[in-house]
Amino acid sequence: MDHHCPWTINCVSHRTFPHFFRFLFYSVITMIYLSYLLYIRLYILFQNRSLPSYLGPTPTQMISLFTLTLTNSITLFALTIILIHNIYTLTCNITTIEGWEIDRHDTLVRRARAHGGHLDGPDGLKIRLVKQEFPYDIGFYQNARQAMGTTFVAWLWPFASTPPNSTGYDFETNGFEEPNTTWPPPDPDRMPRQPYNNNQAAHNHPPFTSSNQINIPAFRERQRKDHLRYPKMNESFTSSSNHTHNNDYARGWKNSAGEGLRDFGVDEEEEVEYMNGEEDEDEDEDEDDLPLSEILLRKRRMGDGEGRKKEV
C-alpha cells in the first residue's frame, strides 16, 4: 500500500496506483487549460478597464470569475506538488510509507554513528546499525514498468486495465545488499521485548533474605564502592541525618552562601527553644487568670514565631 487518499475515498496500492497517477495527471492538465481560459477573460477585462461599467460584466459575473480563478489556482498548485511527488516516487520505485522508512533509517544511522555504531534495544541489547540501500530501485524505466505496467502506451491511457494481483507478490531487487538482508532495516525502538520467564529470573536472581549469607558480602562491597564513588553525597547525607536529630539544628543552619538565621534578623536562641518545644515558665497558668494584654502579647509572639519558621 502507498497511502490512503481521503479525496478519492480509497487506498492507493499496487493495483490502484496507475489509476491514481492518471487521475492526478489529467486533473492537472485540465486545470491548466481552465486557467488559460480564465486568464484570457481577466486580460480582456484589464484592457477594457476604462470603459463604462454597463458595457462590462455584471457584479455577479465579476465575483464568480475572480472566485473561480482563485479556487482553481490554489487547487492547481496543490495537485501539481502531489503530481511531482508521485513522479519522484514512480521513478525511484518507492511508496509513501517506504519513503518514511528510508528517512527513519537515515536518522537511526546518524544516531548510531554518534554512539559508536550501536543503539540501545529492548532488554538492554546493543543493536548494530549500518547504512542499507533501498533494494527495489532498479532503474528509471524498470521502476515505471513495475508501477504502471509493461506497455508504455497504456501508462496514460484512461481506460487501461488494472494490474493483476500476481504482479504484486515478487519484486526484482538491485542486488546492492546481501540476499538475506531484510527491508525495512531493524529499528531498535520497534523491536519487541523478550518474553519474561519467571522461573529463569528466579534462578538467575534469587531473592535477598537475612538467611541468604552469600549476598551479604556482595552487598557490603557495593556499598563500599558507592561510598568511594560518591563521597560528597555520603557526607551530605550523614550531615543531614545528624542535623535532623540535633537540637541545635537551627543554631547551626546555613544556606549555600554561608548565611545563617542571624543574618536574616532571626533570634537563633528563641528559634531553638521553639523547635525543641520549650515553653515559658508560665505555661501552666490558666489563660482565664491572665490579663487581656498578656494574652494578646503571647498570641503575638506565637504568630511572630510561626512567621519566622515559614521564612526559614
Report the 10 Å Cβ neighbour count for 107: 10
Q: How many angstroms separate the CA atoms of 168 and 166, rounded?
A: 5
5 is catalytic: yes
Cross-strand pairs, 51: none
β-pair partners for 4: 11
Distance CA 170, CA 182 (A): 14
Of the candidates 295, 259, 265, 264, the one whose C-alpha atom is nearest the C-alpha of residue 280 is 295
Nearest to 12 by CA among 63, 77, 82, 103: 82
Name the catalytic one among 3, 5, 83, 101: 5
CA 77 to chain centre: 31
Cell numbers 502579647 correspond to 297
Task: Give whole-number Cα distances, 308 to 161, 274, 304, in Å.
Answer: 88, 11, 6
CB-neighbour burial class of residue 21 (10 A; exposed 0-12, middle 13-18, buried 19+): buried
CA distances from 76 to 37, 45, 98, 251, 266 (A): 14, 23, 26, 79, 76
- Say if residues 229 and 276 touch (Cβ distance below 8 Å): no
Look at residues 204, 202, 141 and name the one whose alpha carbon lies nearest to residue 172.
141
**Separation CA 155–CA 26 (nearest Å):** 12
CB 162 within 8 A of CB 19: yes
* Amino acid letter, residue 312: V
Could you list the active site residues? 5
